[in-house]
Amino acid sequence: MSVSLDIDWPNGEGVEVFLGSLRQLEEGWTPIAKALGLELIPNFSRFIQVTPKNLEPMLAELVIYRAELVRMGLADEADVSIVDRLVAALVTLRDSEGWTATIG
């Protein structure tokens, strides 16, 4: 089973950003995020709605998470590029309206 960010735009177009397998997130992302005290990222392996209200906190957590990967010496790993792609996709939502998005 895989985990991705799915964005549905009001014009009917959709975007999918693959994050990894469920196992990758549960064994990689979730423990690191929990150790950092992050609240949203540990839910990525389940299901989380992205809303205008949680968009900025989610982006802030991803910055912290990415910095920790770099600190741990994992900057060359695939997770860093996945985080970068996820952040880039989420940033597109900032100034837009009518979208729906989920991670799961």
Q: What is the pLDDT of residues 76-85, one digit of tens each?
A: 676 889 999 9
pLDDT confidence bin for 54, thresholds 50/70/90: very high
Model pLDDT, residue 73: 86
Amino acid in the structure at residue 29: W
Amino acid in the structure at residue 90: L
Separation CA 101–CA 85 (nearest Å): 15
Taking residues 28-32, report their average pLDDT: 92
Model pLDDT, residue 79: 82
Model pLDDT, residue 10: 95
The domain spans of the chain are 2-99
The pTM of this model reads: 0.91
**Nearest alpha carbon to residue 46 among 3, 15, 80, 93:** 3
Separation CA 62–CA 99 (nearest Å): 20
Model pLDDT, residue 18: 94
Does 78 or 94 have the greater pLDDT score? 94
